[in-house]
Structure 1
Amino acid sequence: DNIALSYFGEGAANQGAFHESINLAALWKLPVVFICEDNAYAISVPKAASTAIPDNSDRASAYGIPGVLVSENDPVAVYEVMGAAMDRARRGDGPSLIEIKTDRLWGHFEGDADAYRSEDFKQEMNERDPLVVFGKRLEEEGILSAEEQEAIKESEYATVEAAIDFALASPYPAPEASLDHVFA
């Protein structure tokens, strides 16, 4: 039942390693789901200046595998598409390529001044933030109130903080531990 999930951006989909990996995964029917997070920028280069096609999911047909495009920041759509691809991989039917059109709310890396995108564009992206939009949807549909969502958020923040505290308080592992759980 083990599968691999491979996450990368639209810029990486232009690299030879992407094509080599997806080709071998298709050839050997490996249980891999390739997930392209397309935020329209390869670091600071607009996608239109670096990629010949608008949708990377169209590349899947060259390898004889399904390619699915999720063109909105809808967590339910992502969940459904991911579930189908993961089921396919677990059945032994080989890999799938999923492309998710999304927004990158901050720069590409810590310290990125993000000067290549206008403030208006960044504001529009923040208004489309899937966590905010989905939270409103859950509230409107009577699934989770704003207070319940806030309680979940606080609980998850506490879980992350506890994990960070644990990691910082833990001793460094022995060098030979780097060979544990290596499968290749």
Structure 2
Amino acid sequence: MKILIAEDERDVLDAYRIALSAQGHEVVATENGKDCVNVYKRHYEEFAKTTGGEARMHMRSPFDAVLLDYRMPKKDGMEVAQEILALYPRQRIIFASAYVRETLLDSVNQLNRVVELLQKPFRIKALIDTLEDKEIYDGLKALNVKVDQLKSTNPSHEQVSALLEGLKKLQKGRTF
């Protein structure tokens, strides 16, 4: 897999890169949100040139997954996700966050979707297992059907808890 990571803590970023590379994944690492968006756009444009232009870009992304720290300098993870999803709406986004409830609510309100979450701190094995589990991303489609309903009402504690529980089941309880 080709994975783009944005993480502002250098030691954490290095740990991700080393572990994922050891598993045979191609890792592109950035230390802030602004750089992440710029790298994504550059790879997106290069990918478009090599795959026959814009028409084919709607079929595939230059990255299999984008792992974003929720809070980072220059642009936070939510802003980065918005810009990436504007280019490629089906991009797999995974947030690494100590604030899973807040991140989930922001993803519903700002991205109009539920995204994958890894609650910090988490073991590297949980990261690898989540990235390599393609069923999670497919399972999100069912949760995302409920997003429009939630946005039209102010989500209650129970509704948010139900979404978190659904996401936890999809991710096999790896980190929260």
Greater helix proportion: 2
TM-score by length of structure 2 reads 0.31
TM-score by length of structure 1 reads 0.30
Whichever of the two has the greater Rg, that structure is 1
Q: Which has the higher contact order (CA 8 A, sep 6+)?
A: 1
